[in-house]
Structure 1
Amino acid sequence: MLLHIAYLLAGGLLLWKGADWVVDAASAIARRFGISELIIGLTIVAMGTSLPEFLVTLTAVLKGIPSISFANIVGSNIFNLGIILGAVAMIKSVSGSKTLITRDIPILFGVELLIRMMVSGGELGRFDGVILTSVFVGYLAWMYYRCKKPSSASDAALCDMVSDSEVATVKDYLLLPVGLLAVSFGSQFVVDGASGVARAFGLSEWLIGVTIVAAGTSLPELVTCLSASVKGKNDMILGNLIGSDFFNFAGVLGITSLIRPIAIMPDELLNMTFAVVVVAVLWIFIRTQGKISRSEGALLFAAGIGRWLFEIWRGAM
């Protein structure tokens, strides 16, 4: 039992630090080759902070534990937009750009609603994976096209190339493979530890996945948002969380279900529905004033905590 808990803690630490190293090193290397900040953010940073979710989800599926794989993604989404966003907004209101409000949040809502309909049959199959992966790749291609042919001054500013003086060091080239190895081993530890804890306490793997594993794999997003809040860059927080959740649902679930279909239990549909509702509520909140106020943050935080408590209660029944 203690060994399984140690696996969970060690895995969470490796996921956290590994993802941090991957993002920093890969971003520095990308700048070395003159890649724009927009492309770095859309690809390296988004995928880097979502590496834990991807590897934990893929590992769980390959080990025949689909409940942890799907629960990890759904739980991470609710943790990001409920607990993390809510907590940060309670400290200081979180703003969102016009593009985020009119394009990115609706796209995330549409992807989650699509997945909710896909899993109604009890499985996220390979054909579903093709659709989700195509949506993800298409979105990145569209953003890349906007960067190459900006339609506004704001687009052009986002796509400006970084200075040639920002070059990668030897340390960055060494940290990239070390970070990837850390995330890989961390995902193995988290899945093994979570499964062991679930069996020891007689809890369902879904419950462990949607709470402990989801929180652990969301550590990169939590650290990024806290850092942005401390530095007074609250306008970056919502974009980071929305981008990460989009990659999780479209990219992670899409690629994973392409490799191996994910079985969905009937009880898991409720949390997927809740995830869709959270995005819808967030969209309503942000459209009213262009930001998430402290009171709205408190409601999101309460919803995230309430969902955790409900799952614990349901798992104990």
Structure 2
Amino acid sequence: MVQETLVQIGIVVASVVGLWIGARWLVDAVVNLARRAGLSDLTIGLTIVAVGTSTPELAVSIDAAAKGLGDIAVANVLGSNVYNLAFILGVVAIVRVIPIAESLVKRDGVALLASVVAVGVVLADLVVTRLEGAILLSLFVGYTAWLLRANRAGNAAAESDTASTDTTDRPAFGARDAALLVGGLALVLVSGDRLVVAASALARGAGVSEWVIGGTIVAAGTSTPEFAVSLVALRRGSLGVSVGNVVGSNVFNATGIVGVAALVAPLSVSPSTFATLAWLAGISVVMVAALWTGRVLSRVEGSLFAGSEVVRWALGLLG
């Protein structure tokens, strides 16, 4: 029994590493492709990178939905969103105080809160139907299209500095990028499948609910790409990208991923959903309010947010 548990833990660790490496390969390839298309770095950070770093959540949730594990599919998304906002942005703020652009708060902060409301509405009856999944997915597609259009229309001058209209100045999308794209996607899909299977086995063996496992260990594991990208962006001085990556990922998780997972198979979840939803709503409101009023995330605020995630984990795993 002990040996089997150790094997499952090893699979979880290996799967998380695989998700992180695969997502990095995938993001690198997609970012190069986006630059080839003439998108600015800010647009890439809010859309392409945000979606790319969420590919582990997407792979895990789709795989869980196909296996009839609705709790893991949804808990992974909601738990990842809480982890992204509270722990990742909290740690980033502890490392360095984060000033936030007004446009990012007003535009994407509102979108973040709207995504929480949308996923909360469809989960109110503890079931997400294919129709509700399609609606959520359409909301994400509409938001992304609006974001790209608004960015291009409102920041044409800025984009001309970061993305020349002369395609000869843009990086070519070559064989290496194609290999990273295919290899990264394959690694994410395989690692996501193994993570779901191992986490489910651990939950059953330890007597811990699949919801708790999905909302803590799996959620943190699939959020490693967001953590890595935010820290790298911070080191390079791209503070807006650090926040934009997290906010954009959360919007995609709540609308795009839950939507796609429900299209694969209708999702049924346990009443534990409401507690996690309430926690996510509270963290989202407080985070947006903190950014809106101060336009900065201080080290003290970052410590409080990160600490709240430690408390959530303790309550979940010990309760």
- TM tier relative to shorter chain: over 0.9
Which residue in 1 is equivalent to 2:242? Answer: 237
What's the counterpart of residue 4 of structure 1? 8
Q: Is the 8 A contact 2:47 2:248 kept in 1?
A: no
| Contact 2:51-2:248 at 8 Å conserved across structures | no
Q: Does 1:26 align with 2:23?
A: no
Does residue 183 in structure 1 map to residue 188 in structure 2?
A: yes
Q: Counterpart of 1:120 in 2: which secondary structure?
A: coil
Of stretches 160-169 and 255-264 in structure 1, the one that deviates more from structure 2 is 160-169
Residue in structure 2 matched with residue 71 of structure 1 by the alignment: 75
The answer as to 2:128 corresponding to 1:127 is no
In 1, Cα distance between equivalents of 2:26 and 2:73? 22
Contact 1:36 1:161 survives alignment (8 Å): no
Is the deviation greater in 262-271 or in 49-58?
A: 262-271
Cα gap change, 1:151 to 1:167, in 2 (>3 Å): closer
Matched, 1:269 2:279: no
* Gap change, CA 1:111 and 1:158, over 3 Å in 2: farther
* Aligned residue among 299, 302, 316 for 2:307: 302
Cα distance change, pair 260–162 in 1 and its aligned pair in 2 (3 A): farther
User: Residue 129 of structure 1 contacts residue 258 of structure 1 at CA under 8 Å; is this kept in 2?
Assistant: yes
Closer, same or farther in 2 for the Cα pair 1:156/1:142, shift >3 Å? farther
Q: Which amino acid aligns with 2:139?
A: V
Tell me how large the CA RMSD over aligned residues is: 2.0
Please show how residues 198-213 of structure 1 align to structure 2 within 5 Å: 198-213=203-218
Q: Does 1:100 align with 2:104?
A: yes
SS of structure 2 residue aligned to 1:140: helix
Q: Give the whole-Å Cα distance in 2 for the aligned partners of 1:39 and 1:97.
A: 14
Answer whether contact 1:7 1:193 (CA < 8 A) is retained: yes
Given that residues 150 and 156 in structure 1 are in contact (C-alpha distance below 8 angstroms), is that contact kept between their aligned partners in structure 2?
A: no
- Correspondence 1:283 to 2:288: yes
Task: Give distance in 2, aligned partners of 1:190 and 1:262.
Answer: 19
Distance of 2:104 and 2:172 partners within structure 1: 30
Contact map agreement 1:82 1:301 (CA 8 A) in 2: yes
- Cα 1:157–1:138 shift into 2, 3 Å: farther
Taking the aligned partners of 1:147 and 1:235, their CA distance within structure 2 comes to: 14
- Deviation, structure 1 residue 42: 4.5
Q: Offset at 1:148?
A: 4.6
Compute the displacement of 1:52 (Å). 0.3
Q: Any unmatched runs of 5+ in structure 1?
A: none
One-letter amino acid of the counterpart of residue 36, structure 2? R
**Alpha carbons of structure 1 residues 35 and 232: separation in structure 2 relative to 1, 3 Å:** closer
Q: Is the 8 A contact 2:45 2:241 kept in 1?
A: no
1:260 maps to: 265
* Other structure's SS at 1:149 match: helix
- Taking a change above 3 Å as real, the CA distance of residues 141 and 29 of structure 1, as seen in their structure-2 partners, is closer
| Separation in 2, partners of 1:265, 1:111 | 21
- Report deviation, 1:197: 0.9
**Deviation (angstroms), 1:230:** 2.2
Amino acid at match of 1:276: A
Structure 2 CA distance for aligned equivalents of residues 284 and 40 of structure 1: 25
Q: 1:173 to 1:276 in 2, by over 3 A?
A: same
Q: Assess, with a 3 A threshold, how the Cα gap between structure 1 residues 146 and 275 changes in structure 2: closer, same or farther.
A: same
CA distance change for structure 1 residues 240 and 140 in 2, over 3 Å: closer, same or farther?
A: same
Q: Secondary structure at the match of 2:208?
A: coil
Aligned residue among 136, 145, 161 for 1:141: 145
Number of positions where the alignment pairs a residue of Structure 1 with one of Structure 2: 314
Instruction: Give the Å deviation of 1:46.
Output: 2.0
- Structure 1 residues 63 and 296, CA gap change in structure 2 (3 angstroms): same
What residue identity is the alignment partner of 1:184? L
Contact 1:38–1:158, Cα closer than 8 Å, also in 2: no
- Residue 130 of structure 1: how far off its partner (Å): 2.1
How many Å apart are 1:276 and its aligned residue? 0.9
Question: How many angstroms apart in 2 are the aligned matches of 1:176 and 1:83?
Answer: 29
- The range that moved more, 252-261 or 152-161, is 152-161
Identity of paired residues, percent?
36
Show the 5 A alignment for 1:146-165.
146-150=150-154, 153-154=157-158, 161=165, 164-165=168-169
Shift of 1:223: 0.5
**1:55 maps to which residue?**
59
Per mean C-alpha deviation after superposition, the further-off stretch among 165-174 and 239-248 is 165-174
Write out per-residue CA displacement over residues 105-162 of structure 1, whole angstroms, 9 at most, x where no aligned residue: 1111111022212211111222221221111111111123224533775576677658
Q: Which amino acid aligns with 1:31?
A: R
